[in-house]
Amino acid sequence: MLLSPYPTTTERIRVAALWFWCMLVLIFLVVPIFVPVPLSFNSGSFFTFPLAGVSTRWYEVVLGTPRWRAAIGNSLLIGAGATVLATFLGTLTAIGLSDPKFPARRYIVPLLISPLIVPVVVTAVGTYLFYARLGLANTYAGIILAHTVLASPFVVVTVGASLSGFDRNLMRATSILGAKPLTGFLRVMLPLILPGVLSGAAFAFVTSFDEVVVVQFLANAQQRTLPLEMFTGLREQLSPAITAAATLMMGLSILLLIVANLLARRSRQAGAPAE
Amino acid sequence: MSSIAISGIKTRTGAMDRSDSLRPLALAAPLLLLLAFSFGAPIVLLLSRAVYEPTIANTLPHTIAALGTDSAAGVPAEPVFHAFAEDMKAAQAAGAIYEFAKTLNTRLPGARSQVLRVARLAGQDAAVTKEAMIKAAPLLGEDQGWAAIRSGTNRLTSFFLLSAFDLRWTDQGTIGAVPAGQAVFTRVFGRTFLIATLVTLATLALAFPLAYVMTNVRPLIAGIVLVLVLLPFWTSILVRTAAWTVILQKYGLLNDLLLWLGVTSDRLELMYSRTGLIIAMTHIQLPFTLLPIYSVMRAVNTSQLRAAQSLGARPLTVFRRVYLPQVMPGVLAGCLLTFILCLGYYITPVLIGGASDQLISNFIANYVNVELNWEMAAALSFVLLASTLGLYVTMTRYLGLDLFKMG
């Protein structure tokens, strides 16, 4: 479709140049994120190609040493806490927003999205200052609450998208048939939007699991997470263990987000009103 | 029959209007409360530190009273020095002297050690004289020393916000520039805006043609390309920055490639350089610029383009007069989003930028972590937040939020 039915030579050259440019852009986009993968299996302790040999020694470091294991445990704990909270609160909010009678929507929606826009250092420094007064700094609860804030916009947007295809007449039908609102929600709405909710949960988990700036300010030595361990490692002394950690983190993110997107797609189809 | 049913529904909904709009709000209330507690309150508290600084006023109650009766403009008379000595002694006893010395030092460089010396002196000798105090702390014998103390006795201050723009109150009571040696922040803000602009333009140059091709190929190929775009988008900034630290090393992949292609004859220093930082930031931001452009391009009605062409317009004219105006909202949305996010970059400049490539967020973190100067961190946060939110509000007002659904 890029070419007209009877292309001239200059047009062919232009389209070929366009394709070539796009290929370069795609290479630039995709190749860098996979560079750490082969290096993480390097048996030598340098970051350079060609590899000295293939080994899993750096994965043994990341999965075997107490320091990295504690970091992975902390990341999973904080991620789980933030996911549960953000999914619950974000889903409630998205259901409220899907009601056409929601008041002051044009002010509240940008407010709900703003944690994604406010520079994360400002959020982190402010939260540290505020939590220190309340005794919440250096606590798991504090980090989980701060991550819930950062993750909640993703849940609101994802669940909101699956609700946009939800036929609200179904809820009227449940109440006409005598169901209480909660029963109607649990038996009719939730099953239909569940893929959207789960996909929002996956986004929330990945947001918390990848987050490093807030943790850097709020966490004490016992609460260090996997990204924080990586960040300090990158800052202080480069070790190929970091490429192994990066590969693990990337694998988990991509896996979860593929699942989330498949679920989101299914949710849009399931919730769509029958024509 | 149907009109009766509809009017019946209308009267019912009219009666329930108020409770109907409160119920959806109640569903959103828990999250809004959490945001107020764990997002709104912290930011307000932080910003208040930029203009509210009570330490000096709290430490110097006697001095403030004595200054009230003293009429001298510059260095005050003996009674004020006595009051000051008394305050220093009290602060020393209460353990508040270090906080005071540190706070005064943020406004009066070099004051820290002199304050501590005077406090020790006042603790040893109850009848310490003005002369002895000035000998221990020369700044107390200078006009600028007392100007700093006088302005510090006011709990509300514009000192830090002015400093964020490299400005200060002069002795004549006007606002003027700080000495050239102390002017840092306009340079840092300028650098932040410059790098954000360069990255935005680079992402646009890469994203626009790709988005155009994606809307003009078979759906299967477009789908595959979209996955390739989303793959890095889903990978965390930290992981991608880590990947770039590996690639940009002196003996890393990019230098290998450049040598192999014969573009350069020597290995470049790309780590801790601005070039490296811009390359990495462009890579990270590319999907943010691309997705809004792609979603707008997909909605363009191609029959209009064909109509323009059949009416005799040349390809370039069709592009400029028919296509570009229609995709402009997407281009603006993508570019603004990338620009806003670039202003707040922190991790990538720390790990890839050099000392002269640190952005405003890095200075904020440094003031908190290293210098323990919360007031300056707050003032810089204030300016950064105001720029970011100003652009965000403009963007949502003129372009709507629908363009920012991602993934």
Q: Is the dihedral of CA B360, B362, B363, B365 positive or negative?
A: positive
Lowest mean pLDDT among A5-9, A223-227, B129-133, B175-179: A5-9
Note whether B236 contacts A210, CB cutoff 8 Å.
yes
Cα–Cα–Cα angle for B97, B101, B105, nearest 5°?
A: 170
Beta-bridged to residue A54, according to DSSP, are A42
**Yes or no, beta carbons of A234 and B351 under 8 Å apart:** yes
- Closest residue of A to B208, CA-based? A22
Among A271, A155, A258, A245, CA closest to A204: A155
Rg for chain B, CA atoms, rounded: 30
Res. B19 pLDDT band, cuts 50 70 90: low
Collect all residues of chain A within an 8 Å Cβ-Cβ radius of residue B364.
121-122, 125
**DSSP symbols for B55-121:** HHHHH-HHHHHHHHH---SSS--HHHHHHHHHHHHHHHHHT-HHHHHHHHHHHSTTHHHHHHHHHHH
- C-alpha–C-alpha distance, residues B122 and A76, integer Å: 55
Residue B403, pLDDT score: 47
Residue of B nearest to A35 (CA): B243
At residue B266, what are phi and psi to the nearest 5 degrees? Answer: -135, 155
Length of chain A: 275
The 8-class DSSP code of residue B323 comes to: I
For β-strands B167-169 and B175-177, DSSP reports them as antiparallel
A30 interface with B at CB cutoff 8 Å: yes
Q: What is the mean pLDDT of residues A207-213?
A: 94
B32 contacts A93? CB cut-off 8 A: yes
- CB-CB neighbors (< 8 A) of A250 in chain B: 235-236, 239
Full-model pTM: 0.88
Q: Please, are residues A114 and A108 in contact by the beta-carbon 8 Å criterion?
A: no
pLDDT band at residue A83 under the 50/70/90 scheme: very high
**Count of CB pairs separated by less than 8 Å, A with B:** 259
Which residue has tokens 């047009």? A11
Least confident of B199-208, B266-275, B312-321: B312-321
Nearest to A204 by CA among A160, A271, A164, A260: A260
Query: Are the beta carbons of A49 and B256 closer than 8 angstroms?
Result: yes
Each residue's pLDDT tens digit, B29-54: 999 999 999 999 999 999 999 999 88
Which segment of A90-104, B24-38, B157-171, B356-370 scores lowest on mean pLDDT?
B157-171
Residue A10, C-beta contacts closer than 8 angstroms, at least 6 positions apart: none
Q: Report pLDDT digits (tens) over A251-260.
A: 988 888 788 7
Q: Which of A47, A114, A230 sits opposite B238 (nearest CB)?
A: A230
pLDDT given for residue B241 in this prediction: 93
Q: Could you tell me the pLDDT band of residue B179, with boundaries at 50, 70 and 90?
A: confident
Tens digit of each residue's pLDDT (9 = 90 or more) over B75-112: 888 889 989 998 998 998 888 898 899 888 888 888 89
Nearest residue in chain A measured CA to CA from B338? A117
- Mapping DSSP onto H, E and C, the string for chain A reads CCCCCCCCHHHHHHHHHHHHHHHHHHHHHHHHHHCHHHHHCECCCCCCCCCCCECCHHHHHHHHCHHHHHHHHHHHHHHHHHHHHHHHHHHHHHHHHHCCCCCCHHHHHHHHHHHHCCCHHHHHHHHHHHHHHHCCCCCHHHHHHHHHHHHHHHHHHHHHHHHHCCCCHHHHHHHHCCCCHHHHHHHHHHHHHHHHHHHHHHHHHHHHHHCCHHHHHHCCHHHCCHHHHHHHHHHHCCCCHHHHHHHHHHHHHHHHHHHHHHHHHHHHHHHCCCC
Instruction: Give contacts of B 144-203 with A, CB under 8 A.
Output: none
Domains of chain B listed by start with CATH number: 55-157 (no CATH), 185-405 (1.10.3720.10)
Q: Does B344 touch chain A (CB under 8 A)?
A: yes
> Rounded to an integer, what distance in angstroms lies between the CA atom of residue B34 and that of residue A122?
17
**CB–CB of B67/B76 below 8 Å?**
yes
Q: What six digits make up the tokens of A59?
A: 């994965």
B389 contact A CB<8A: yes
Contact A233, A239 (CB under 8 A): yes
Q: A95 or B68: which carries more pLDDT confidence?
A: A95
- A 170-189 near B (Cβ less than 8 A): none
State percent of chain A over pLDDT 70. 95
Cβ of B32 within 8 Å of Cβ of A102? The answer is: no
Which residues neighbour B39 within 8 Å (Cβ) at sequence distance 6 or greater? A114, A115, A118, A123, A127, A149
The residues near B119 (Cβ < 8 Å, ≥ 6 apart) are B88, B89, B91, B92, B97, B101
Residue with tokens 């479709």: A1
Residue bearing tokens 């306009």? B186
* Average pLDDT score, chain B: 87
Is the CB of B121 inside 8 Å of chain A's CB atoms?
A: no
Helices B274-298, B185-215: crossing angle, 10 deg rounding: 40
* Residue B137 DSSP symbol: -
What integer pLDDT is reported at residue B18 of this predicted model? 57
Mark which residues 211-270 of A lie under 8 Å from B by CB: 212-213, 217, 227, 230-231, 234-235, 238, 242-243, 246, 249-250, 253-254, 257, 261, 264
pLDDT at B3 over 70: no
Chain A residues with CB-CB distance to B33 below 8 A: none
User: B23 touching A, CB under 8 A?
Assistant: yes
Say what the pLDDT of residue B400 is: 66
Q: Does A25 touch chain B (CB under 8 A)?
A: yes
Q: Report chain A residues whose CB lies below 8 A from the CB of B32.
A: 93, 108, 111-112
Judging contacts by C-beta atoms under 8 Å, the chain B residues touching residue A96 are 23-28
**Can you give the length of chain B in residues?**
407
Taking an 8 Å cut-off on Cβ atoms, the answer to whether A93 and B216 are in contact is: no
Average pLDDT over residues A170-179: 89
pLDDT tens figures, A93-112: 999 998 888 888 888 998 99
- Closest Cα in chain B, distance from residue A66 (Å): 22
Q: What is the pLDDT of residue B278?
A: 97
